Amino acid sequence: MARPRKKRNKEIFALGNEAVVEGALLAGCTFYGGYPITPSSEIMEIMAQRLPLIPNGSFVQMEDEIAGLGSVIGASLAGRKAMTATSGPGFSLMQEHLGYGCITETPLVIVNVMRGGPSTGLPTSPAQGDVQQARWGTHGDHSIIVLSASNVQECLDNTIEAFNLAEKYRTPVILLIDEITAHTREKIVIPNPDEFEVFNRIVPTMPPEWYKPYEETVRGVPPMPSIGSGYRFHVTGLTHDTNGFPTSRPDEVRELNERLFRKIDQFLHDVQMVDEVDTEDADVVVIAYGTVARSAELAVKQARDLGVKAGLLKLSTLFPYPRKATEKVMAKAHTLIVPEMNMGQMSREVKRVNNGQVSVRTINKVDGQIITPAEILKVLTRV
């Protein structure tokens, strides 16, 4: 029997924002609802061109970001893989619906192409100022998954991952990229469908009258039918019992809130993605994410050439914070360096994990410019 001929991977020259679209479509996204905002607008523009070409694909430009995420939640409840993209001010508007997505356990992907802030800030300059907003922007206590991407290929790969994690854990997933990655054009490889996994939400198999929409399962993630599939259930942003109806009974409230954390926290190994460069023997480890991680990678190489035992821990998952990976590099290193385009939003997490064990140096820059390899190298050679 002839072996099936392997299709060659397609290579394209793409913007980070274009790569996000490619990743979303490969992951099975068929709905986009949103509101354009610089520097994320290309994602929406390309979606408007591509989605009508896909069976069942649909696209709608809503009147604001609040409406955008609302439509995404509606489409996801109706069984679609749905996403929106935005930037800082729009992301702020989405926060209430983000919380709604968390408590109703609705899978969806929000891409936030970060720009300088606060407020309208620097619309076309890079920043990493929305890190803690992604974690804690919405009111109430909740778990959440936040990813980042440091180059155009990762924009594609991590968008697929974002959809997979959203479906697997029934939760909103946020992909944070910065303006530089979003607007950098690079050669990327579009993988063949057999080269990556696509995860779809688990749908109930029991008869509709047995189904309880928010019942505990082994994984902590209840199966999710779509609206109109014969399973008629109530979805509410109010704290609800396992039937989905509002409750304020302490035992039911506690059960829901704890499960929302547990369903993600018991699978940290699956959720937390990091890359390590030269960390095995490193005395100094740079912890970086987004475009800054690229500067850091070059700085680490240059430092090695100068005889400094430097390494890089690149975070693809920002939240839940990759604690294990950080502890691993801390076991050997005497110094951690956290460069970021904000006043220290991620170094807070590093310091929390570090808890005074090793020295933590931060490099912070909020002038709308990227942190260069030279700036990181300077610190690397001094510690």
Partner 1 sequence: MVDMKGTQLIHEYLRHNKKFPHVFCAGCGHGIVLGSLIRSIHGLGLSKDEVCVVAGIGCSGRLAAYVDFNTVHTTHGRALTFATGIKMAKPGMHVIVVMGDGDSMAIGGNHLIHAARRNIGVTALILNNNIYGMTGGQCSPTTPSGSFSMTTPMGQMEQSFDCVELCSAAKANYVARGTVFHVKKLDKMIMDGISNPGFGVVEILTPCHTQYGRKNKYKTPVDMYKTLKKDVIDIDRYNKLSEADKAKKVPSGVFVQKDEPGLEEKFYEMAANCQGGL
Residues that bind partner 1 (CB under 8 A): 31, 33, 51-53, 55, 57-60, 62-64, 66-80, 82, 96-97, 100, 226-230, 232-238, 243, 245-246
Residue 225 tokens read as 């039918």
Residues 362, 313: Cα–Cα separation, whole Å = 14
User: Shortest Cβ distance from residue 75 to partner 1 (Å)?
Assistant: 4
Q: C-alpha distances in angstroms, 154 versus 18, 34, 222, 315?
A: 12, 23, 30, 12
Phi first, then psi, for residue 43 (nearest 5°) are -60, -45
Residue 264 tokens read as 């993600």
User: Shortest Cβ distance from residue 100 to partner 1 (Å)?
Assistant: 6
Instruction: Give whichever of 33 and 172 is closer to partner 1, judged by the CB atom.
Output: 33
- Are 302 and 326 in contact by the 8 Å Cβ rule? The answer is no
User: Shortest Cβ distance from residue 247 to partner 1 (Å)?
Assistant: 8
User: Shortest Cβ distance from residue 203 to partner 1 (Å)?
Assistant: 15
Instruction: Give whichever of 118 and 140 is closer to partner 1, judged by the CB atom.
Output: 140
Instruction: Give whichever of 247 and 257 is closer to partner 1, judged by the CB atom.
Output: 247
Instruction: Give whichever of 50 and 323 is closer to partner 1, judged by the CB atom.
Output: 50
What is the CA angle 126-128-134, rounded to 5?
130
User: Shortest Cβ distance from residue 97 to partner 1 (Å)?
Assistant: 6
Residue 253 region by backbone torsions, left for phi larger than 0, else alpha for psi between -120 and 50, else beta: alpha
User: Shortest Cβ distance from residue 22 to partner 1 (Å)?
Assistant: 18
DSSP code at position 363? E
Instruction: Give whichever of 82 and 380 is closer to partner 1, judged by the CB atom.
Output: 82
User: Shortest Cβ distance from residue 138 to partner 1 (Å)?
Assistant: 11
Residues 215, 205: Cα–Cα separation, whole Å = 14
User: Shortest Cβ distance from residue 45 to partner 1 (Å)?
Assistant: 16
Q: 278: buried, middle or exposed (CB in 10 Å: 19+, 13-18, 0-12)?
A: middle
User: Shortest Cβ distance from residue 139 to partner 1 (Å)?
Assistant: 12
Instruction: Give whichever of 55 and 356 is closer to partner 1, judged by the CB atom.
Output: 55
Which residues lie closer than 8 Å to 302 by C-beta, 6 or more apart? 373, 377
Q: How many CB atoms lie under 10 A from the CB of residue 233? A: 17
Instruction: Give whichever of 54 and 343 is closer to partner 1, judged by the CB atom.
Output: 54
User: Shortest Cβ distance from residue 56 to partner 1 (Å)?
Assistant: 8
Instruction: Give whichever of 199 and 233 is closer to partner 1, judged by the CB atom.
Output: 233
Q: What secondary structure does DSSP assign to 286-331, as a single string?
A: EEE-THHHHHHHHHHHHHHHTT--EEEEEESEEES--HHHHHHHHT
Instruction: Give whichever of 107 and 116 is closer to partner 1, judged by the CB atom.
Output: 107
Q: Which residues of 178-203 are buried (b: 16+ CB within 10 A; e: fewer)?
A: bbbbbbbeeebebbeeeeeeebebbe
Q: Cis peptide before 320, with omega less than 30 degrees from 0?
A: yes
Residues 8, 145: Cα–Cα separation, whole Å = 33
Residue 144 tokens read as 């959440």
Instruction: Give whichever of 233 and 267 is closer to partner 1, judged by the CB atom.
Output: 233
